Amino acid sequence: MITTMTNSLLELWDNIAQSNEKGLFKRLIQLENEEIYVYATFQCPEKYCGVAIAFDKSISVDISPFSNLRDLSVYTLPDSTFPNKNLLFINLLQYQSRDVFSVLCSDLIHKISEHTEEKKIVRIVVNQLEKWRTLFDRMRNGGLLPAEQQGLYGELSFLQKFIIKSKNPSQVINTWVGVDKEIRDFQYGNWAVEVKTTAGNNHQKVSISSERQLDDTLMDCLFLYHLSLETSKGNGENLNQKVQAIRNLLTENSFALNSFNTKLLEGGYLEIHAHLYEERCYAKRDENIYLVKDDFPRIKENEIRNGVGDVKYTIVLSQCDKFLIPESQLFKTLSLS
């Protein structure tokens, strides 16, 4: 669906852009869920590509956080088709970025088409806009930082393993929630996996970003996957090659491939920056999996005294050997049913 929607949006925007008509144009997008109304929009002669989502006038939506975005224009207007509704417009102000924007819009439409409650739909749209703000900042600022590249490479390394072990790649992609800024990188049902990637002199020490990251109180199984790397210029596998290796695994499953590409975008990986990632390569130095339980060295939320916040700490992995488990045990536990 996402690929078809992406192509439809691009075709519509390009066709209107080539005409001599001026004004704001909107075309209803036909969805299986006929209870919601989503439009593809285009404004001439400015060449503003966009989408608009209809919602009841009784629903309050706060778009003030998005009033000063450089790349997007977000505003509401009365819906001329349905007097009891408003339209939430999201316009792209940089026509040359429409390829990326079309993928984001297609993913957004897919997400909201699964719901009928307009309040929830509006909330989903606002949450996505928060992610898009970060993404367009990355587009402007020149790609992922070295530490971000390394972290993404580690998450993709685990994802690749999981896809190979699983019979349902689409569900596997959905468990990758690190790009959604969740507490842990992979999570589904009653289990979670936190991925830590290190390189250089500190390859046996990992940083924990909060008191909840290694807290297994609300789940049955929590794992720590640690990937230790050597980095070099041109020797090993680069981030682009890892991305392509996973895409190759998904070539026969278009839905999983589309989901993967969307997750990459939300994680800040953009094709326009691929050339920046060519020289930095990684070689696996060590790889270990830990079952986080009992007296595993960590700080849990219920151990924090009142008034203490923003907890960050490091773990020395040499002190965690008794919690090591084989890879087979990990993937036997990661149920997707």
Residue pLDDT, tens place only, 67-99: 888 899 999 999 988 999 999 999 999 888 888
pLDDT band at residue 2 using 50, 70 and 90 as cut-offs: low
Q: Which domain holds residue 288?
A: 146-333
Structural tokens at position 282: 């990684």
- Which residues are within 8 A (CB) of 257 and not within 5 positions of it... i.e. 6 or more apart? 247, 250, 251
Asked if 174 and 303 sit in the same domain, the reply is yes
Domain boundary among 141, 169, 189: 141
Task: Return the HEC string of 107-163.
Answer: HHHHHHCCCCCHHHHHHHHHHHHHHHHHHHHHHHHCCCCHHHHHHHHHHHHHHHHHH
Determine contact, residues 243/269, Cβ cutoff 8 Å: yes
Asked if 165 and 287 sit in the same domain, the reply is yes
Residues 1-9: what's their mean pLDDT?
A: 70
SS3 306: coil
Asked if 192 and 86 sit in the same domain, the reply is no
115-166 per-position pLDDT tens digit? 889 999 999 999 989 888 878 877 777 789 999 999 999 999 999 999 999 9
CATH number, domain containing residue 40: 3.30.1460
Asked if 180 and 315 sit in the same domain, the reply is yes
**Which of these ranges, 103-107, 113-117, 200-204, 319-323, has the smallest mean pLDDT?**
200-204
What kind and span of H or E run contains 256? helix 254-266
Closest CA relative to residue 309, chosen from 320, 301, 298: 301
CA-angle at 202, arms to 200 and 206, nearest 5°: 125
- Which residues are within 8 A (CB) of 90 and not within 5 positions of it... i.e. 6 or more apart? 50, 51, 52, 72, 73, 74, 105, 125, 129
- Ramachandran class of 325: left when φ > 0, alpha when ψ lies in -120 to 50, beta otherwise: beta
262-320 per-position pLDDT tens digit? 899 888 898 889 999 999 999 999 999 999 999 999 999 888 888 888 899 999 999 99
Determine contact, residues 291/332, Cβ cutoff 8 Å: no
Closest CA relative to residue 186, chosen from 210, 217, 211, 163: 163
CA–CA distance, 98 with 23 (Å, rounded to integer): 19
Enumerate the β-bridge partners of residue 227.
197, 287
Domain boundary among 90, 112, 141: 141
- pLDDT above 90 covers a percentage of the chain that reads 64
Domain boundary among 114, 141, 168: 141
Structural tokens at position 225: 């996957």
pLDDT for 169 equals 95
How many structural domains compose the chain? 2
Tell me phi and psi for residue 248, to 5 degrees.
Answer: -65, -35
38-76 per-position pLDDT tens digit? 999 999 989 999 999 999 999 999 999 998 888 999 999
